[in-house]
Amino acid sequence: MKQLSLLLVLTALLTACTTEIGPVTTNEPKKLIINAILSTDKVENAIYLNLTDRVNPEIVKNGIIRLYINGELSETIDECKYNPLYNDRDSYSDYYYPVHSRFQSGDNVRLEVETKDGHFRAEAETNVYENLKIAGLDTTHITTSGVYSWIGTAIRLKVKLEAPMSEKKQPHYYRVHLKEDCTYRLTNKETLKDSIAQSNYWNSPAYYYDIALMDGKPGDLNNNDFDITILPTTRNDYRVFSDIYFNNRKYTMDLSIFPGAWFNGLVYHIRHATVRETLHFYAISQEEYLYLRALSAHNEHDSSDPFENPVIFPSNVKGGIGIFAIENPTEYPFDAFDKDIAE
């Protein structure tokens, strides 16, 4: 998930009618937009500041951010860095405020934001939650076929999860993500030349049909057609879930993956493939959970349909709009595939 996409969605909200963020009119005063989804495992995080506008948000380059951890001032950030990701001039993601504070489970973190001229002020607060324990992983390899089926296998995962002890009764929230690293020995079928190719994906081609990820509406796991079995029926683009389906703090999550990159089987023969997957689970706040669920709904929202209800986006920013959250990740690497491929 890119920070830019979150900001652009917030921007789109400004012309939509929602309960939390109403339509922006020409007479409505501008507000600060805070876009900050930080992570405990990063040495440098980024906060993006903008001002609301009817058409395009205005990048805030004169901001001051005071960051407090457990009531103590951790750092004051008054430098807006420029680091263009693309060649677009003044893209929203090009200007950011670097955060060097480190966070851990149990921290309460608060932001106080203002512009140096004092015209705009906003604040936001969040907590860092303890992550799940990955207690084990069972894998089942399934043979597939087809010109573009790469290494001819799919993998079903059963991930054994254990939630942390908690005296509080309210649900806890999480997000799951897969990263894939692949190495191949290839032979060009026409030239007979050998080569080595490598690929990696942060969005591993995974299929998420688990009950916890689909609001209790999983795919039909008894269907013998693998491609049909794993088609999702509930949109959850950011793979967020809660622990309401856990039993005595334990839960087994079902995931499926097609390891490997898209090589044209008419041109290349893969002689050997090595695939390493890494499961990432993130402990997140309720605010981020609701925000990402809204973002998933927004992704399939048809704004041209006058009868379709607009998506309601939550905001946990006082005096402005936006999202402030801190993810707490844990990871579980495993070897998914390492063998020669028969021609």
Give the bridge partners for 278, in sequence order: 179, 333
Among 230, 205, 183, 112, residue whose Cα is nearest residue 335? 183
Query: What is residue 166's predicted lDDT score, i.e. its pLDDT?
Result: 81
Strand spans (E) along 189-247: 194-201, 206-207, 240-242
Residues of the chain with pLDDT under 50: 1-23, 147-149, 220-233
Cα separation values, 262 from 153, 188, 329, Å: 13, 15, 29
Among 76, 72, 78, residue whose Cα is nearest residue 108? 72
Are 280 and 178 within 8 A, CB to CB? yes
Query: What is residue 9's predicted lDDT score, i.e. its pLDDT?
Result: 44
For residue 121, with 0-12 CB atoms within 10 Å meaning exposed, 13-18 middle and 19 or more buried, which class applies? middle
Which residue has tokens 């990955």?
134
Helix (H, G, I), strand (E, B) or coil at 211: helix
Are 232 and 219 within 8 A, CB to CB? yes
Are 137 and 332 within 8 A, CB to CB? yes
Cα separation values, 107 from 103, 253, 283, Å: 7, 28, 13
